[in-house]
Amino acid sequence: MRILIVGGGKVGYYLAKTLAPERHQLVLVEADERLCDKIVCEMTSLGVTLIHGDGTDVAYLRDAGVERADILIAATGDDEINLVACQLAKNYFAVPRTVARVNNPKNINVFNCLGVDAAVSSTALIADILELEVDWGDVNRMLATYAGRYRIKEATVSSRSAVVGRRTADCGLPPGTEILSLVRDQQVIVPVDGTPFRNGDHVIALVRKDAMDEFLGRFR
């Protein structure tokens, strides 16, 4: 997948580092020249193309290959910049999917109404985490009522887990198990069959009730 990230600050930087091992084609656009100088060596070693330029400027976006991008992620600390970058990508360059960091949760609805595919606020995510227990309880009660054999289960990959370094498709999970997401370095990853498990991954899966112990055993 070809991914263009606008903003090389903490969020964009760590996002690029997280995605690089997954062999995506990554381009990072950052307007601050000093920041570019600071991260250029590491980005180059990871295979990430770093461009010094304004992510809201059509010329720099074109230089970054936005026309060929599968997704643009606007991750700066400025909501206005993130919105403009996403709108240019979507409306001017027809990028299939746009994701924006939203620093003020009150702006999420504005982003959604203006066509951003996914508006993500860390503040809103923290609020969601506080409600996690209630949400999982509701989901599992629904599954018990309508699909009694399945439950949502969480597990953490430890350094001695049997699955460390193995692909999700090749690690002997019980039949019928579906890995819904991995939380890795504070980023949510929707895995494919070739995604390897890593030490510290937080795993959320759909598991048959009668296979729960076998599932958990793979991560111990």
Domains, the chain: 2-126 (3.40.50.720), 132-217 (3.30.70.1450)
pLDDT at position 188 over 50: yes
CA angle 203–209–212, rounded 5-degree value:
50
Chain centre distance of CA 175: 26
Question: What confidence tens digit (pLDDT) does each residue in 7-24 have?
Answer: 999 888 988 888 888 778
pLDDT at position 127 over 50: no
Q: How confident is the model at residue 33 (pLDDT cuts 50, 70, 90)?
A: very high
pLDDT at position 146 over 60: no
Question: What confidence tens digit (pLDDT) does each residue in 83-118 have?
Answer: 999 999 999 999 999 999 888 888 888 998 998 988
Put the strands of the sheet holding 150-156 in their side by side order. Answer: 150-156, 202-208, 178-184, 187-189
Looking at residue 134, its pLDDT comes to 41
**Alpha helices (H) along the chain:** 10-19, 33-45, 58-63, 79-87, 108-113, 122-130, 132-146, 212-217
Looking at residue 132, its pLDDT comes to 46
Looking at residue 43, its pLDDT comes to 94
Question: What confidence tens digit (pLDDT) does each residue in 39-52 have?
Answer: 999 999 999 999 99
Looking at residue 148, its pLDDT comes to 59
Specify whether the CB–CB gap between 209 and 148 falls below 8 A.
yes
Question: What confidence tens digit (pLDDT) does each residue in 195-215 have?
Answer: 888 888 888 888 888 888 888
